[in-house]
Structure 1
Amino acid sequence: MTIQSTPPRRLSRTGTWVRGAVGVAVLFAASEALGRAGIVDRSYLPPASDVVVRAAELATDTEFLFNVRVTLTAWALGLLSAIAIAVPLGLLLGSVPAVNTATRAIVEFLRPIPSVALIPLAALLLGSGLEMEVPLIIYASSWPILFNTMYGLDEVDPTAKETLRSFGFGRMQVLLRVSLPSAAPFIATGIRLAAAIALILAIGTEILSGFGDGLGTFIGEAGITLNGVEDVLAGTVWAGCIGLIIDAALVRGEHRVFHWHHARQAS
């Protein structure tokens, strides 16, 4: 007698959010308990409630909101530029083997270089502000979009491409009519990954550069002031919430636009 195993049930969206909320609540309670019990000095780890209150107060601070706007501007410009560069480049490398082979060594040489290592050079050549941040964000966030685009092209049904070729469609028409629509869900996943990388790099660049404006600059300056840990953690809470909102919006949009792709994966 054969025993058929049933596939594990996927959590509903509500169940996922509930589990996430429980995890946040546990972390909040642990941080609050450590801060209140005096196990950890409050100057190093203030109670979570104090951090949340300070984060809420920053919502009415016009200078802080200006810093957040500067960071989001750099994030958006860098991400949109990365999409405009990486998607066409990925389509080219993924659909023309000769170009892929010719550029593979360059790509594999550049990809492992950490973006933070380029901050001193970028600051020297480009100065501060958006002129420095945006190129670094483009460099870092282009890779997941590029490789997801190439991977998506590899997953295109070859029968569909051959069918169009048999009807006299050229390479560009096959790319636009079959390959690009089929690869679009993979490109969207690459963009979602790149969005997180872009935000991390925008804030990290501001922290490490030590000058200019932005959320990272606020966190960095708070870290060198007396009793600034609360501001550092409040700024970090803001960064985490912004990242969560961006990811949730992209996931929701991805599921709406490519619902057919997710339905096929679930079946």
Structure 2
Amino acid sequence: MRRLKRLRRPKRRQELWLGLLGVLLAFGICEAVGRAGVVRRSYLPPASEVLARAVELGGDSAFMDGVGATLKAWALGLGLSVAIAVPLGLLLGSVPLVDSAVRVIVEFLRPLPSVALIPLVSLLLGTGLETEVTLITYACVWPVLFNTIYGLGETDPLAKDTLRAFGFGRLSVLLRVELPGTAPFIAAGVRISAAVALILAVATELLSGFGEGLGIFIAQAGLATDGTRDVLAGVVWAGVLGLVINGVLVWGERRLFPWTPERRAERAAVVRP
């Protein structure tokens, strides 16, 4: 195991350096365009000024309270979507009759954009955290739900038949085979939904214009006479939050599900001479 970890490190270092190179290249291009006067500074400030402002905002307690409010809505909406989608996905994936009965309703609701529902949900629930969490939950249910259903269909039928042959009931098969086999798919759905939840949290605040949060900060900065730098600094914060969240979830997937084919393929590729 130690040898495997040592062999993995050069590849991960290479990926890290390539990612850092891409970030520096993008930063340099934005800096050069901003300072060359190709675009007016009031429309596109140099990247260094935007980054400096983003760092400065990290010490602003009012701004950080807004970021905390956005993350609170993100966490509540994502948690509720997982709590709804996983049991529902297990039910639809396990009982074909129920799946057939509700499939038309699911396919009707799934394409509806959450952002388009902001006026209706605001009218029903008013302004506040409830509206934001409701929209996030609605948008995030679908990736987790369909990944759960798909994961159930990909579980090993031989393992299920073996347990049934030894007298294990439906619940035991679900807990011992189907749920562990489906867990990596659920985790992938959660990772997708985490990005969607952050987008919805910021977009709902931005478009609705109520409450507090990162989206409210960006919206208010956009109305200011010289607020482009603050707008871009807020966007930088949104991007950093998304990057950190995705990195944590990817790390968690690798730690929790080492038995997945992708992880086994990685190990085989590393140890192969």
Give the TM-score range, shorter chain. over 0.9
**Aligned mates of 1:249, 1:153 — CA distance in 2:** 25
Once the two structures are aligned, what percentage of the paired residues are identical?
A: 62
**Aligned mates of 2:265, 2:241 — CA distance in 1:** 29
Residue 263 of structure 1: aligned partner: 263
**Residue type of the partner of 2:110?**
R
Unmatched 5+ residue regions in structure 1? 1-10
**Aligned mates of 1:201, 1:146 — CA distance in 2:** 18
Residue 22 of structure 2: aligned partner: 23
List aligned pairs for 1:127-142, cutoff 5 A: 127-142=126-141
Residue 183 of structure 1: aligned partner: 182
Matched, 1:149 2:148: yes
**Aligned mates of 2:13, 2:259 — CA distance in 1:** 21
**Aligned mates of 2:106, 2:192 — CA distance in 1:** 19
Runs (4+) of structure 1 exceeding 4 A deviation are none
**Aligned mates of 2:128, 2:11 — CA distance in 1:** 42
1:6-25 residue CA offsets vs partner (Å, 9 max, x unmatched): xxxxx922222222211111
Instruction: Report SS of the residue matched to 1:260.
Output: coil
List aligned pairs for 1:1-267, cutoff 5 A: 12-261=11-260, 262-266=262-266, 267=268
**Residue type of the partner of 2:165?**
S
TM-score normalised to structure 2 length:
0.92
1:207-260 residue CA offsets vs partner (Å, 9 max, x unmatched): 000121000010011111110000000000000001100000010011011122
**Residue type of the partner of 2:191?**
R
**Aligned mates of 1:152, 1:265 — CA distance in 2:** 19
**Aligned mates of 1:198, 1:12 — CA distance in 2:** 31
Residue 6 of structure 2: aligned partner: none
**Residue type of the partner of 2:77?**
G
Please provide the CA RMSD for this pair: 1.3
TM-score normalised to structure 1 length:
0.94
**Residue type of the partner of 2:185?**
F
**Aligned mates of 1:34, 1:74 — CA distance in 2:** 36
Residue 271 of structure 2: aligned partner: none
Instruction: Report SS of the residue matched to 1:181.
Output: helix
What is the aligned residue count? Answer: 258
